[in-house]
C-alpha cells in the first residue's frame, strides 16, 4: 500500500465520520496555544469547551460574539508507520516470501499511528440574567495499526495473512452553556451547566496489505444519539481565579462493530471498545487586562480505547501577553501524567485588528513525529 493510500485511509476515516469526539477536547486555538488551559482563562465564547461557568464572565461592552469556526488537527506517528507500510507494501508485491519482507513484518508488529481532527462553532449571548453560549463541536480520533500473523508456517503465508486495521470514533455534539454570575458573602462566583446532544459514530475497517481499499471504509459503521451534561464553577477576586469543570457527567462505554475477517489462512476477530467517562479538571490562575497565566489539572485519568495506549491525565500551563489589545503572544506546556510520553510545547499568536475580528493561530510540538495546529476566527460586538 502506497503512502498516499494510507493517508487517504486516515483522512477518509476522519472525514466520513463528519464528527468529533467530546471528551475534554477544546479544538480552540487560543487555549491550544496556551497548553490547552481554559478552566479559568477561557472566555464566554469558549465556555462550552472548558467550563460552562465562563459563559457569565464577559466585558461590559460585549453584547454578542461568535467563533466561525475553529479548526484543529494533530498526528502522532512515533514509529514512522506510514513509511514502514509503504516499504512493506512494495516488498510484499515483489518478494512476499523474502527475508527482508519477514523482517519488515516483524519490525512493524504492534506499531500505531494516531490522527485527530476537529472543529467548533459558537454563538454567545452575554447578559446579566442568564448568559448563554450556543455551540456545535466535532472531533474524531483515529488509529491505524498492523496485525501480523506471528503463527504463520512460512514467511509468504505471514505476508498473505497479515492485515492493516483502522478504527475511528467520533462525536458530533450540539448544546448550550447556561451560566449565572452572583456575589455571595463578598465573593464573586459563577455557576454553569451545558446540556447537550451527542451523535456517536464508530468506524472499523481491516484488510490485507495488498487489498486495502478506502472505498470500503464505511462498511462497519455504528451510530447512536445520546444526551449528556457538563457543569462547572468559577471563583474570582480581582485577577485571581479558581475553578472546577466536569465534562460528560453521564459516562458510557462505546463499542465498534465486532466481526471476523478471514484471510486465506487466518481469522482475525475485529472490534474495539472506547470508554467515555466524566472528566474532572481544576484550574487556577491570574487573568488580568494584559496578562494571563493559568494552570489546569485533570483530577482523574481518561481511559479511552482499551486496545491502544491513549490514556490521558493532563497537567497544563499557559501564558498570554496582550499588546494593546491588537496582538496576543501565547505559550504553554503539557505533561501527560498517565503515560511515559514526551511532553508537549505549544505556542501561538492572536491578531485583533480594530478589536472587531480576531484570528488565533496555534501550534503544538511533541517530537518530530507528533505535531498539531489549530486556527480560530472570532468576532465580538
Alpha-carbon gap, residue 230 to 253, rounded angstroms: 18
Residue pair 188/287 in contact (Cβ under 8 Å)? The answer is: no
**Banded pLDDT at 88 (limits 50, 70, 90):** confident
Rounded CA-CA distance 316/75 in Å is 19
- Residue that has been written with the C-alpha cell 448550550 in this structure: 176
Q: What are the tens digits of pLDDT across the range 238-259?
A: 999 999 999 999 999 999 999 9
Identify the three-state secondary structure at position 33. Answer: helix
Domain residue spans of the chain: 3-380
pLDDT at 21 over 70: no
Which of the two residues, 356 and 253, has the higher pLDDT score? Answer: 253
Partner residues linked to 350 by β-bridges: 328, 360
Share of the chain above pLDDT 90, in %: 51
pLDDT over 70 (residue 213)? no
Average pLDDT, the chain: 87
pTM above 0.85, yes or no: yes
Q: Give the CATH superfamily of 3-380.
A: monomeric porin ompg (2.40.160.40)
Amino acid at each position: 500500500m502506497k503512502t498516499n493510500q494510507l493517508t487517504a485511509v486516515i483522512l477518509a476515516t476522519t472525514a466520513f465520520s463528519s464528527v468529533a469526539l467530546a471528551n475534554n477536547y477544546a479544538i480552540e486555538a487560543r487555549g491550544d496555544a496556551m497548553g490547552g488551559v481554559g478552566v479559568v482563562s477561557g472566555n464566554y465564547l469558549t465556555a462550552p469547551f472548558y467550563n460552562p461557568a465562563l459563559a457569565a464572565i464577559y466585558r461590559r461592552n460585549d453584547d454578542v460574539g461568535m467563533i466561525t469556526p475553529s479548526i484543529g488537527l494533530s498526528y502522532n506517528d512515533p514509529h514512522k508507520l506510514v513509511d514502514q507500510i509503504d516499504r512493506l507494501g512494495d516488498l510484499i508485491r515483489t518478494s512476499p516470501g523474502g527475508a527482508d519482507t519477514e523482517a519488515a513484518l516483524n519490525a512493524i508488529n504492534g506499531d500505531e499511528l494516531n490522527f485527530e481532527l476537529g472543529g467548533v462553532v459558537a454563538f454567545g449571548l452575554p447578559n446579566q440574567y442568564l448568559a448563554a453560549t450556543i455551540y456545535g463541536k466535532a472531533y474524531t480520533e483515529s488509529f491505524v495499526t498492523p496485525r501480523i500473523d506471528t503463527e504463520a508456517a512460512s514467511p509468504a503465508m505471514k505476508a498473505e495473512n497479515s492485515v492493516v486495521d483502522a478504527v475511528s470514533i467520533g462525536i458530533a455534539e450540539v448544546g448550550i452553556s447556561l451560566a449565572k454570575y452572583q456575589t455571595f458573602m463578598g465573593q464573586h462566583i459563577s455557576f454553569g451547566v451545558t446540556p447537550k446532544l451527542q451523535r456517536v459514530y464508530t468506524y472499523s475497517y481491516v484488510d490485507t496489505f495488498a487489498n486495502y481499499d478506502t472505498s470500503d471504509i464505511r462498511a462497519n459503521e455504528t451510530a447512536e444519539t445520546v444526551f449528556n451534561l457538563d457543569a462547572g464553577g468559577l471563583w474570582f477576586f480581582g485577577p485571581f481565579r479558581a475553578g472546577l469543570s466536569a465534562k460528560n457527567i453521564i459516562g458510557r462505554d462505546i463499542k465498534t462493530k465486532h466481526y471476523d475477517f478471514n484471510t486465506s489462512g487466518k481469522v482475525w476477530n475485529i472490534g474495539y471498545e472506547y470508554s467515555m467517562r466524566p472528566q474532572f479538571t481544576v484550574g487556577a490562575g491570574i487573568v488580568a487586562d494584559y496578562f494571563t497565566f493559568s494552570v489546569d489539572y485533570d483530577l482523574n485519568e481518561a481511559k479511552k480505547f482499551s486496545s491502544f495506549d491513549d490514556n490521558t491525565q493532563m497537567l497544563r500551563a499557559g501564558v498570554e501577553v496582550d499588546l494593546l489589545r491588537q496582538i496576543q503572544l501565547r505559550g504553554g506546556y503539557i505533561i501527560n501524567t498517565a503515560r511515559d510520553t514526551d511532553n508537549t510545547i505549544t505556542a501561538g499568536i492572536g491578531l485583533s485588528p480594530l478589536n472587531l475580528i480576531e484570528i488565533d493561530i496555534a501550534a503544538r510540538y511533541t517530537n518530530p513525529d507528533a505535531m498539531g495546529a489549530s486556527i480560530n476566527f472570532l468576532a465580538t460586538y
